Amino acid sequence: MSDIALRFHKDMLVLSAPIAAVLARQGVDVTRDLEYLNLIEPEAVRDALRLESIAGAQCIVANTEGIAPARLAHHGMEDRAEELARAALAAVQGLRPQHVLAEIGPCGLPLDGSSAASLNENRSQYARAVRAFEGGTLDAFLFGGFANPVDLKCALMGARQASDRPVFASVDVDGDGLMPDGRTTIEEAASLMGEFGASVAGFSSGAPVEQVAALVERVCSTVDLPVLVQLRIAERAPRQGAPTPENPYYCPDVMVEAAARLRAAGAQFLRAAGDATPAYTGALAAATDGFDVVAPRDAQPVEEDEPDFAELLAAARSKSLFSSREEG
């Protein structure tokens, strides 16, 4: 693996989608067993990630979102974090990806922003999660799913306390750029990321692409960091026929134009999330393969025929996973 930091502000890159949705369709109780699957059925994890790799994701994200000690404690696994981390990385490395990211989600502990003890305990949760990967081969950490700016701050402080590897940070926002607390804006979250050592500023949204592109521009105007966008698929519904505000990413085809628009707005890293399948990843990869990042100040509105969406769509469909039979 090469140093992912050397590619910041240069190459368009796609992250593998979370594998929870795919495994859930196979009957896995992902609420209970997702991380444990790294130990008891590593082949299932590897197979799901292999589909993402074949689809074209240059950055494979390890199956470790719930590795914070408090989350593992719910399943009686708080003492097995290092074992889980090793198993998750082993599943990824067998695929020989360009880059490996270890995902860490919110720890889930109650958080009192006015209590030093509460803040310290939350920060410790993330530092311990990061330390579980000591000695492992990976490029960066992905801290995602944050709905509270104080929790994000604790996560970044904990990460920097435990490691000097690049950190991708991502918060959940709506189409107006507000976090779930209804007060914190995307600009405030991005500023927090820059202040507390994030290497990449990101967000996750299920809003229509026009709104998401505007959010990318707002992040670019706030911090000079590469931007990650995670598009949340509400539901795979090929029969829907057209995007709706409630489900704009109803099928993989729409991701081709979405990728082009987000690149034009200044995004570098793209990821399909929510009810995503490898076909969504394949569409993002086909639409951005070989393209450089567009500097935000130079970004221009995407013309209807540039890039050629028909050609990009054909390229996406040529990928082995971009077909309806793979959607199950």
Q: Which long-range contacts (CB under 8 A, 24 or more apart) does 44-47 make?
A: 45/19, 45/88, 45/91, 46/91, 46/94, 46/95
Please state whether the peptide bond connecting residue 307 to the residue before it is cis, i.e. omega within 30 degrees of 0: yes
Tokens of 78: 């708080």
Q: How far is CA 99 from the centre of its chain?
A: 13
Q: How do residues 270-326 score in pLDDT, each as one tens digit?
A: 999 999 999 999 999 999 999 999 976 544 444 444 455 556 556 555 554 444 444
Distance spanning both ends of the chain, measured CA to CA:
31
- Beta partners for 227? 201
Task: Give the CB-side neighbour count of residue 82, counting CA atoms within 13 A.
Answer: 4
Q: How do residues 217-238 score in pLDDT, each as one tens digit?
A: 999 999 999 999 999 999 999 8
Q: What is the number of H-type helices and E-type strands within the chain? A: 13, 8
SS3 105: coil
SS3 47: helix
- CA proximity to 228, closest of 9, 3, 54, 6: 9
- State mean pLDDT over 105-126: 94
How much is the pLDDT for 94? 84
Q: How do residues 3-31 score in pLDDT, each as one tens digit?
A: 999 999 999 999 999 999 888 888 888 77
SS3 302: coil
Q: How far is CA 122 from the centre of its chain?
A: 22
Global pTM reads 0.90
- CA proximity to 66, closest of 58, 77, 57, 55: 77
Burial class (CB within 10 angstroms; exposed 0-12, middle 13-18, buried 19+) of 95: middle
How much is the pLDDT for 245? 93
85 pLDDT above the threshold of 90: yes
Q: For residue 202, report the phi and psi dihedrals to the nearest 5 degrees.
A: -140, 170
How much is the pLDDT for 303? 46
Q: What is the average pLDDT score of the chain? A: 90
- CA proximity to 179, closest of 152, 217, 142, 161: 152
